[in-house]
Amino acid sequence: MAATLEKARVSKEGEFVVIDAKGMHYPELNVLIEDVINQGAKKLKLINVNGQRFIADGLRGDYYIEIHGVAGDDLGAFANGPTIVVYGNVQDGAGNTMNAGKIIVHGDGTDIIGHSMRGGKVFVRGHVGYRVGIHMKEYKDQVPVLVIGGTAGDFLGEYMAGGRIIILGLQRLETYPEIVGDWLATGIHGGAIYLRDEVDEDKLGYGAKFEELTEEDLAFLRREIEEFCSYFGGDVDEIMNAKFTKVVPLSHRPFAAMYSDSKEAGH
Amino acid sequence: MVRNFPPDFIVRVDKEACINCLRCVRECPFGVHEYDKEKKKWKRHHEKCVACLRCAYMCPTQAISIEKHPMEYSPHPVWTNKVRKDIKTQAETGSVILTAMGNELPYLNYFDRLVLDACQVTNPSIDPLREPMELRTYIGRKPEKVDLEEDNGVDLKTKIAPNLKLETPIMFAHMSYGSISIEAQLSMARAAKEVGTYMGTGEGGMHVDLYPYADHIITQVASGRFAVHEEYLKRGAAIEIKIGQGAKPGIGGHLPGTKVTAEISQTRMIPEGSDAISPAPHHDIYSIEDLSRLIYALKEATRYKKPVFVKIAAVHNVAPIAVGIIRAGADAVVLDGFRGGTGAAPQVHRDHHGIPIEVAIASVDQRLREEGIRHWGSIIASGGIRSSADVAKAIALGADAVYIGTAALVALGCTVCKKCYTGKCPWGIATQVPELRKRLNPDEGARRAANLLKAWSHELKEILGALGLNSIESLRGNRDRLRGVGLSDVDLEVLGVKPAGR
């Protein structure tokens, strides 16, 4: 609907198709993105983005999307393959239930980043909010990875069923200098969380425990940190040269002994 | 300590008729029948019997009958046998009692206290065998008004939101692959396609065998987000966000790892053998605004081509909750009453949480009308719909369509033995065991499920005819065609129904 009306917003810049999102409501912007993609664009640059929601939701394919500004809620939700680079902050739910692809955020993220992610990677240079990585899962060779340069709030990795979360804590908040909030990994039953700091046991939620890092863990961390530094800069060795804490589930079957019935009780 | 726990049932075998063929041993998944070949002696483990009647019907000489066990505790109106057995079970195990199917407590069933009107003398009834009778139902948002363009002929100018077209106002409820077998799902999918209605996937994903019927399948997005994937969302006919379930309002679900087999793991997209935990809330939904965000995330991901439903358990404040859901952008609200079935639920939740579907329909329909937004979304009712009469009453109270779960399974052979959660369904429905699954032939299942829909649809037409109506649309929310029998003034007020005789 918007395609002809909004032609003035679309321009070419090398191999990029540029869309000026200034003042647009999200449904129109997303229709315009759809139109541009249907016309063959593989690389998109969205400028003047200011909180528009649902960008690249459910998008399948190896598109490359640059976002200049603040991406709104559920950026790349259900996405299946695209690479999204945000020069700015992202709001709630970036990477929500994402199946494959990459989201690289040069600013901060708010709550529920990477909620229920099944595959792909999310890199955030700065801090993230509450309930990040809740119910992340994995399936076969799909192991989602979430790397946060700053700190994370409460309920990080709650109900986590798979995947990997790395919190580097390279920047700290003045008001809450700790690397992570409370209720860390409550109900975790799969996957692992790595925090680049000592973490007080009081922060652990029900069903979570600490575990020593193995050589494999360190090799994995190095790979992910190398990728992190390739986007945001930083010295890999310097970042690696710190105490990491690893959080894993107590059990993959936390509810195994919760139920009974008269027949199974042996009556 | 002596375990003084009388069995629920007793297996009686006519020894003259029994030919020792051991068929019963092979048929019973619970291990009730045992034969010692050396001693040539039978042992029947009565305490394991669930009265599914499988052995009785498979016995070639009809030698077996199952009866309620005559031994009971001394009668007491408060300390019933069930109460005493539950306490002893929990004393033994220290754990939550698990059960299946719908609420078992004898609450008032409003459907059984409501009667339908019929035409006599002054307003003639209609014979549906001679005159067309419309059951077609559209589920989804309806426009405020319709603008037409009349240049060459007449064209619709108003953009209509996506709606599901149902040839009968009855759909198969969401029962996941994992809770039931693929044969059971296939039976319903084929029946839905044949009759022109829909079935739900539940939170188990869509097995590839269901792809040919995907245009008659509603996919589900629940709190575990299992199987939720852009292709899955785009493949189905509509999407349902599951917030709650009538059989277990307010709690999540745990599919035990022992049931996450290779095939189940594939459709749910989770590792084999791992507990599949659906949290009680969606952790990206803590408010109506958050719900709206998920609704529109799903609409955006599917480019506004699929209606999005939101399912909730019918609870105390169901009317304002449903209004919030419709205002949040849902194309339909699904109300699941407290008699709704389940494959597994803690007994305490199944029997004590939620409200009856009849009052939920009436109060939601009423509130949406009062707010002038009844056309924004449809009402789908479920939870204890047992017959075409229940369907007609639900629609007269204000529902657009109903979901049937237990009734559909009974059509496939289920005897409601309430052991779905064991995964050992003797009738091949709620099981993944290959030998048990063979007991349900999807061709036969599809025929029976379709027959049930056809029979109920036929009866619905007859009911409409008797009411002097020629379309289901005229019955929708038409509570004047209902009367209450033996209901209190308050019940009648909530239902918006007059007492019989007025």
Q: Is residue A39 assigned to a domain?
A: no
Tokens for A165? 């979360």
How many CB atoms within 10 Å of residue A20?
A: 19
B200-234: pLDDT as tens digits = 999 999 999 999 999 999 999 999 999 999 999 99
pLDDT at position A3, please? 47
Cβ of A261 and B92 within 8 Å? Answer: no
Average pLDDT over residues B112-139: 94
Query: Distance, in angstroms, between A79 CA and closest chain B CA?
Result: 7
Beta-carbon neighbour count of residue B492 at 10 Å? 17
Nearest to A34 by CA among B308, B305, B291, B158: B305
Tokens (6 digits) for A134: 């809740």
Q: How much is the average pLDDT of A152-158?
A: 97
Average pLDDT over residues B376-381: 98
More confident residue, B254 or A254: B254
First vs last C-alpha separation in chain B: 62
Q: Which segments within B131-221 are labelled E, that is strand? A: 137-139, 148-149, 155-156, 164-166, 170-174, 199-200, 217-221
Q: pLDDT-derived band of residue A2, with 50, 70 and 90 as boundaries?
A: very low
| The CATH classification of domain B137-499, taken from the options 3.20.20.70, 2.60.40.10, 3.40.50.2300, 3.40.50.1220 | 3.20.20.70
pLDDT in tens, A199-218: 999 999 999 999 999 999 99
Q: B380 pLDDT band (50/70/90 cuts)?
A: very high
What is the mean pLDDT of the segment spanning B284-291?
96
Task: Give the mean pLDDT of B488-496.
Answer: 98
- Cβ pair B271:A162 closer than 8 A: yes
Q: Do domains B9-95 and B137-499 have the same CATH topology?
A: no
Distance CA B460, CA B481 (A): 14
Q: Is residue A206 part of a domain?
A: yes
> What digits encode the pLDDT tens for the residues B152-168?
888 888 999 999 999 99
Q: Taking 80 as the threshold, does the pLDDT of residue A6 lie above it?
A: no
What pLDDT, on a 0 to 100 scale, did the predictor assign at position A201? 95
Residue A266 banded pLDDT, cuts 50, 70, 90: very low
Please answer yes or no on whether A93 and B284 come within 8 Å at the CB atom. yes
In a domain, A33, yes or no: no
Residue of B nearest to A131 (CA): B283
Across A73-98, average pLDDT: 98
Band (pLDDT 50/70/90 cuts) for residue A263 is: low
Range of the domain at A226: 108-249
What are the CA-CA distances from residue A32 to residues A6, A26, A161, B176 (Å)? 8, 10, 36, 37
Structure tokens belonging to residue A93? 């739910």
Could you confirm whether domain B9-95 is CATH 3.40.50.1220?
A: no
B98 vs A261: CB contact, 8 Å cut-off?
yes
| For range A49-66, the mean pLDDT | 98
Mean pLDDT of chain A: 94
Could you tell me if A20 and A47 are in contact, meaning their C-beta atoms sit under 8 angstroms apart?
A: yes
Give the pLDDT score at B2: 87
Per-residue model confidence (pLDDT) at position A1? 45
Question: Which secondary-structure segment (H or E) carries A251?
Answer: none
Pairwise CA distance, residues A133 & A121, whole Å: 11
CB contact under 8 A, B96 and A135: no
Which chain A residues touch B231 with a CB distance below 8 Å? 60, 80
Answer whether residue A66 is part of any domain. Answer: no
Contact across the interface for B277 and A189, Cβ inside 8 Å: yes
Indicate the angle between helix axes B288-301 and B318-327, nearest 10 degrees.
40
Beta pairing partners, A180:
A152
Interchain CB distance below 8 Å, A260 and B95: yes
pLDDT tens digits, B30-47: 999 999 999 999 999 999
Give the residue on B whose Cα is nearest the Cα of A59.
B301
Instruction: Please report the pLDDT score of residue A163 as a whole number.
Output: 97
At residue B150, the pLDDT reads: 84
Kindly state the average pLDDT of the residues A99-104. 98
Parallel, antiparallel or unpaired: strands A208-211 and A245-249: antiparallel
Q: Which residue has the tokens 């690249």?
A: A56
In this predicted structure, what is the pLDDT of residue B341?
95
Alpha-carbon torsion, ordered A164, A165, A170, A176, to 10 deg: -160
Q: How confident is the model at residue B352 (pLDDT cuts 50, 70, 90)?
A: very high
Name the residue of chain B whose CA is nearest to A112's CA: B284
pLDDT per position as a tens digit, B233-258: 999 999 999 999 999 999 988 888 88
Residue A212 lies in a domain: yes
Mean pLDDT of B459-469: 97
Whether B275 sits inside 8 A of A255 (CB atoms) is yes
Which residues are paired to A64 by β-bridges?
A: A43, A83
pLDDT for residue A264: 54
- CATH number, position A143: 2.160.20.60
List of residues 6+ apart from B57 with CB closer than 8 A? none
Q: Which of B293, B306, B421 to mutate to test the interface with A (most CBs of A within 10 A)?
A: B293
Place of tokens 């009565």: B46
* Cα Rg, chain B, nearest whole Å: 24
**Share above pLDDT 90 across residues of chain B, in percent, rounded to a whole number:** 92
Q: B201-204: which pairs have CB atoms within 8 A and are 24 or more residues apart?
A: B201/B174, B201/B176, B201/B177, B201/B227, B201/B236, B202/B174, B202/B175, B202/B176, B202/B177, B202/B178, B203/B174, B203/B176, B203/B227, B203/B242, B203/B253, B203/B268, B203/B278, B204/B176, B204/B177, B204/B178, B204/B179, B204/B264, B204/B267, B204/B268
> Is the CB of B5 inside 8 Å of chain A's CB atoms?
yes
Average pLDDT, chain B: 96
Q: Please tell me the distance in Å from A243's CA to the nearest CA on chain B.
A: 31
Find the helix or strand (DSSP H, E) in which B324 lies.
Answer: helix B318-327
Cα of A236 to nearest chain B Cα, Å:
32
Q: What is the pLDDT of residue A129?
A: 98
DSSP readout, B428-488?
SSSB--HHHHTTS-HHHHHHHHHHHHHHHHHHHHHHHHHHT-SBGGGTTT-GGGEEESS--
Q: What is the domain partition of chain B in residue ranges?
A: 9-95, 137-499
Establish if B73 touches chain A: CB-CB under 8 angstroms: no
Q: Which residue has the higher pLDDT, B285 or A253?
A: B285
* CA distance linking residue B235 with residue B207, whole number of Å: 12
**Lookup result for tokens 């992340």:** A136
How many distinct structural domains can be found in chain A?
1
Residue A169 has pLDDT above 60, yes or no: yes
CB B447 within 8 A of CB B195: no
Shortest alpha-carbon distance between residue A98 and chain B (Å): 8
Q: Is the pLDDT of residue B435 over 80?
A: yes
SS3 B44: strand
